[in-house]
Structure 1
Amino acid sequence: MNIKVVETPEEKQHAFEVRTTVFVDEQNVPPEVEIDTYDGQAIHLIGYEDGLPIAASRVRFVDSFGKLERICVLKSQRGKSHGANMIQAMETIISNKGYTTAKLNAQTHAINFYQRLGYDVVSEEFMDAGIPHVTMTKQLE
């Protein structure tokens, strides 16, 4: 998978299409919750396989940490390490901006995935868009 920082309106649209497919269509998140005001201040990433958009995410900087958000891979492309590669690309952006802590809100079914990547649960379970989540953090090198 080729991961790149979104630079054009077309790439941003591709990222939004992947997010809509995963979160709105598959997980029933309301569209107005999925595409939000934070999109304007985020760094967006898009992952392409054979020229087709298959993964997306965004990074924001909040307080003293980089926040990984809206991480998604199309269902047909899961299980191929694309999610882990996307996380690594996001962590590189965070580190390159001088931040040493990465934070994310993980859907509870994905806790083990993030733990394998070095993240620790730091909150009780909470609901976001009708889906159970926990907050997780990782100290970056």
Structure 2
Amino acid sequence: MAEVREVDSDAQRADAFDVRQTVFVEEQGVDEAIEYDEHEDEAVHFVAYDDGQPIGAARLREPNPGLGKVERVAVLESRREEGIGRELMAAVEDAARDRDLTELKLHSQTRAAAFYRRLGYERRGEEFEEAGIPHVEMRKSLE
């Protein structure tokens, strides 16, 4: 079982970035210039650890009052299907509630949409491309 932490140090932030580098840049071919953006400093970052090793990451922003945006959810390929993504999302949702956010949205890769649907997210709109990968917008009320 993973331990998910809200990032509170440069070392933990580097761990989150390492997971994202592995999953998005190396595995999925996302351009590094897109992966790391102007929102890094305003976002709340999360890291999932197993025995001190970073195995998952996510971030949360508040682009509009009361609305949170979940971004950069990643789990190392060797650790998928173990419930780590679910644990990350639970931590993100708890943090969102602690910040009095009432709704969350995310841009899910289409292949991951079923995962988010099982967590209560509903698809909004048509498929679109982001970083060269098909995505759909999904939302969930926290009220």
**What TM-score, normalized by structure 2, do the two folds share?**
0.97
Q: CA RMSD in A?
A: 0.7
5+ long unaligned stretches in structure 1: none
How many residue pairs were aligned? 141
Distance, in Å, in 2 between the alignment partners of 1:27 and 1:125 is 18
Does the residue aligned with 2:120 lie in a helix, a strand or coil? coil
Matches within 5 A, 1:120-139: 120-139=122-141
Mapping 1:9-88, distance limit 5 Å: 9-63=10-64, 64-88=66-90
Cα distance in structure 1, aligned partners of 2:105 and 2:120: 11
Q: Percent identity?
A: 43
Looking at structure 2, the residues matched to 87 and 53 of structure 1 have their Cα atoms a distance apart, in angstroms, of 16
SS state of the match for residue 123, structure 1? strand
**Which stretch shows the higher mean deviation, 62-71 or 129-138?**
62-71
SS in 2 for 1:40: coil
Q: What secondary structure does 1:80 align onto?
A: coil
Instruction: State TM-score, norm by structure 1.
Output: 0.98
Q: Deviations over 1:70-129 (max 9, x none)?
A: 000000100000001101110111111111101100000011111000000012110000
Structure 1 consecutive aligned stretches of length 4 or more whose deviation exceeds 4 Å: none
Distance in 1, Cα, partners of 2:17 & 2:55: 11
Helix, strand or coil at the partner of 1:126: strand
